[in-house]
Structure 1
Amino acid sequence: MNANYFTASLTLFHEDGSLDFESQEKLFDNLIENGLDGILVEGSSEFFAMPMVQRREMAKFAIKKVDHRVKLIIGTSHMVADEIISFSNYCLDAGADAVMILPPYYFKFGAEALLQYYDRLASAIHGPIYIYNFPDNTGYTIPPATVLQLATMHPNIVGMKDTVLAMDHTRELIKVVKSQIPTFEIYSGFDDNFAHNLLSGGNGCIGALPNVVPEVCAAWTKAFRENDLVGIAKGQQCVDHLMDLYAMRSPFLPVIKEAAKLRGIAATSASTFPMPNATVEDDAKILKLLHRQGIC
């Protein structure tokens, strides 16, 4: 079975707020060497608290270091449409494979407004676009019928990351959109939905767990490709336990960063203000969880 596991990559910082390129390169190399299929940069990882000059700096670094070894998607979400268009074309011109864009947040927008929004963006961006649906953070969801309209209108809208806990919306996307446009890619945003996504006819997952356990996620993908039912079940059960990383605190991002630090991937777990830092208590929980799954 065809299966793809992309990583929603962390953005790593020094304590002073500057980008930690040394740790970032180590993270990229670790993901690629362990067999992940692609990397998403600046998806949900603190883009909202980064100035545009720093976001462009991060994108330029990622394009250079990933160097087409795997697929690279850059998150170009912003609240100003012209900034999205400019940043997206900058990334695509520099060598990114695609960009990913959230709908507007703060206010809730209906289907007609969303159609106009992505229509304008897709008309001005000269490369592949993934829509990013994350209702917990935007306050609303993008209807499957709207996604189908957009993908029909704009061939450069090539896929969607659907970050929802339950699979009902993702299943509907698969039924509505992929039945009409089979090449349209649909990924789940939470790692434990990887198997359900694939079995429903989707393309896989763009999750955060590979930042911490790339070997587990790559082995799970391999099991699907080889129709290894025992390996698929083993991967599901392991990831089901590792999903506790998401539940340790809200937002979950500091915990994922701290876990990457504890595994020796990142030098610090520093985040941008106002993101909270992980605690000593978090460390104990993270280590206990990893050790319980046989991960050192």
Structure 2
Amino acid sequence: MRGIIPPVVTLVDENGKPDLAKNKQMVDKIIEAGVHGLVLLGSSGEFPHFTMQEKKDYLNEIIPYLRGKLPVLVGTGGVILEETIELTLFVERLGADGVLVVNPFYWNLSDEQIYVYYAELAKAVNIDIYLYNIPQLTGQEIPVCVIEKLAKDFDNIRGIKETVSSISRIRTVINELNSVREDFYVYSAFDEHLLDAQILGAAGSINGTSVFLPELSVRLYEAIHNSDFSQVKKLHIEISNKMELYSWHPSFYISMKEAVYARWFPEESVNLRTPFINNEQDLRSLAKAMIEESLCSGVYDEKYN
């Protein structure tokens, strides 16, 4: 899968349960922008906050709804291998196109332990597996040597999402894995890395602003691949300036939810699961200003199509 793959937030009702109707409305809006896939229950989708049954109920409704519209990846990782396998088999049966699997967190693991976790999952399922490296939340990186060994040993381990601050890490993973397998896909995450990672050979971007301003990422991706460098410069600066989103709230997915509501449900309030609260009263106004800035800059103009 190549292109822009938004890691969608999970919208909940006043009781903190996934609001199925509202989530369908949101994904329809994102799809209209021309994105190339979606990630459900990633970090932005709050995968640690829901019970296994809540995840299954949500996915049982949303995956079939998306079938035939575009490829879907699902976050199934966690700290318990058996639960990761259980949820991965569940989404495999539902027809998901792949799973995005974070390495176990809380305790740091040895290289061998990380390898065993993914190896046991790969042996238990047939669906495509994408590793998920997000050291600022898991406490440690997935070592490049482990990625290489997994890619050599298991055909269904197909790629990795790199949510890292260093473009050097992304470059290293791309270069090292290219020598192992041509069909191993590397995805960047932070918005300001979209351009550099594409030039270096990344398969796509799973970036935060694409959840509420998908047009911007899609237009930048298209401009890069059309060698439209004047638009690449304009759009790269615009998307990079939106990295401030990640500093608005300690739980940055809350900022993303406010932006989603500012864009598509402006008259409604965001619901959150306890203990997560929005104690930053100006989040909605900040999100609204960010969105209006892009829309006024011409992100919808025909010249970007």
Fold shared by both chains (TM-score > 0.5): yes
Aligned residues: 295
Letter in 2 for 1:132: Y
Contact preservation (8 Å) 2:78, 2:105: no
- The two structures, once aligned, show a CA RMSD in angstroms of 1.7
Alpha-carbon shift at residue 284 of structure 1 (Å): 2.6
CA distance in 1, matches of 2:269, 2:88: 29
3-state SS in 2 of match to 1:77: coil
Contact preservation (8 Å) 1:162, 1:189: yes
Which residue matches 1:106?
106
Instruction: Say if 1:265 and 1:170 are closer, same or farther in 2 by CA, change over 3 A.
Output: farther
Question: Scaled by the length of structure 2, what TM-score is found?
Answer: 0.92
Which residue matches 1:199?
199
Alpha-carbon shift at residue 265 of structure 1 (Å): 4.4
Instruction: Say if 1:196 and 1:136 are closer, same or farther in 2 by CA, change over 3 A.
Output: same
3-state SS in 1 of match to 2:26: helix
* Alignment gaps of 5+ in structure 2: 298-305
CA distance in 1, matches of 2:276, 2:133: 22
CA distance in 2, matches of 1:87, 1:171: 31
Deviations 1:133-157 (Å, cap 9, x if unpaired)? 0000000001111101001100000
Letter in 2 for 1:249: H
Which residue matches 1:123?
123
Residue 136 (structure 2) pairs with residue 147 (structure 1) = no
3-state SS in 2 of match to 1:283: helix
Which residue matches 1:171?
171
Deviations 1:249-281 (Å, cap 9, x if unpaired)? 211111110011111248542222222226332
3-state SS in 2 of match to 1:243: helix
**Mean CA deviation greater in 285-294 or 158-167:** 285-294
Alpha-carbon shift at residue 3 of structure 1 (Å): 5.7
Letter in 1 for 2:14: E
| Percent identity for Structure 1 against Structure 2 | 25
Letter in 2 for 1:151: A
Alpha-carbon shift at residue 285 of structure 1 (Å): 2.3
Instruction: Say if 1:95 and 1:3 are closer, same or farther in 2 by CA, change over 3 A.
Output: closer
CA distance in 1, matches of 2:192, 2:66: 26
CA distance in 1, matches of 2:112, 2:245: 37
CA distance in 2, matches of 1:251, 1:69: 30
Contact preservation (8 Å) 1:3, 1:224: no
CA distance in 2, matches of 1:238, 1:265: 24
Alpha-carbon shift at residue 190 of structure 1 (Å): 1.1
Which residue matches 1:211?
211
3-state SS in 2 of match to 1:161: strand
Alpha-carbon shift at residue 295 of structure 1 (Å): 4.8
Which residue matches 2:83?
83
Contact preservation (8 Å) 2:9, 2:211: yes
Letter in 1 for 2:101: I
CA distance in 1, matches of 2:216, 2:277: 27
**Mean CA deviation greater in 104-113 or 56-65:** 56-65
CA distance in 1, matches of 2:292, 2:215: 15
Which residue matches 1:60?
60
Which residue matches 1:282?
283
Question: Scaled by the length of structure 1, what TM-score is found?
Answer: 0.95
